[in-house]
Amino acid sequence: MFERLASMENRYDQLSQFLCDPAVVSDPNQLRTYAKEQSDLQETVETYRALKAAQQQLAEAKEMLQEKLDDEMKEFVRAEVEQLQGEIDNLQNKLQILLLPKDPNDDKNVFVEIRAAAGGEEAALFAGTLLRMYTRYAEDQGWKTQVIDAHYTDMGGFREVTLSIQGQGAFSKLKFESGTHRVQRVPVTESGGRIHTSTATVAVLPEVEEVEVEVQEKDIRIDTFCSTGPGGQSVNTTQSAVRITHLPTGIVVSCQDEKSQIKNREKAMKVLRARLFEKYQREQQEEQAASRKNQVGTGDRSERIRTYNFPQSRVTDHRIGMTLHKLEQVLAGDLDEIIHGLVVAERASMLEQAAEA
């Protein structure tokens, strides 16, 4: 571990020199590449340097204990040794986590796809509830959101809706949301006051670049149609909405939020690349299913991950056994406690796998 940390520190110092080089400063692409690499290394290197400093101080304190000291001074040094040892243990634990393999998609923007599942109109209304929850969470994080495609129901719910979220680290925090979300409540359509159980599925897809997933023009069919749903006069009157069908896989993507057909096509292509990326990644993961047994959920839409119980104001995440009695706050976008618990569980699982390797 320490050889790897020393190598990372050397690389960090080398990057500092590169970033002062006029030739690099004058090249925006190279400057951005080196700056990002250094930024990725910064926390690990700073923690490693703090560890080395604490270890040096501990060695000096232990040497002092070998000298002739009065009782008061000896007690002071012993307390310092104990404090430094605790600090070193904490720093080593932090470095173990920082050295875990990082998901290459963590820093990417995401598309959140929400679909009504079991429960008819109530499931569609619940899909709208989830859309508001993720939108508010994203706003609290300072991220930008935009609904880029939506299929409404008569009561204002969604058969399906795609939300674009743009912000640093969006995928790292939202990737655990993929799966089946279950709601237990009295539907507005229920006159007898009986509690119903309905579900909606969520898929969180990282936005990918063209170079990561290449889509051939011969493999797609593009259709245009009139936009539907809430909007201005141009809605339902111009052929601005775009539907793209990927012929080899049968994946269909549509976008209708822009008045410009060109802009809708660009956004639809981004969603298509994201879906293809997720499909290829899922197929690869299925081939390596044995190595995934300890992960926090599979991200499969069929996996029930969370229940929202209205009568008891309770939210339960089934993967980590976390139950919170603050349903209203969670649906208002307060997802921090749940997401933190999922991140901690994933790290614990990865540490366990690293120890077994």
Looking at residue 90, its pLDDT comes to 92
Question: Around Cβ 164, how many Cβ atoms within 10 Å?
Answer: 24
Q: What are phi and psi of 159, to 5 degrees?
A: -70, -40
Residue 324 CA to residue 247 CA, distance in Å, equals: 44
The C-alpha angle 348, 290, 284, rounded to 5 degrees, equals 100
Convert the pLDDT of each residue in 317-354 to its tens digit. 999 999 999 999 999 999 999 999 999 898 888 888 77
Place of tokens 């229940």: 307
Place of tokens 């060695």: 59
The answer to pTM > 0.85 is no
Looking at residue 292, its pLDDT comes to 41
Convert the pLDDT of each residue in 95-124 to its tens digit. 988 888 787 888 889 999 999 998 889 999
Looking at residue 156, its pLDDT comes to 86
Q: Work out the end-to-end distance of the chain between its first and last CA atoms, rounded to an integer number of angstroms.
A: 14
Inter-CA distances, 103 with 174, 175, 269, 340, 341, Å: 13, 10, 23, 16, 18
Q: Which portions of the chain are predicted below pLDDT 50? A: 231-236, 290-295, 298-299
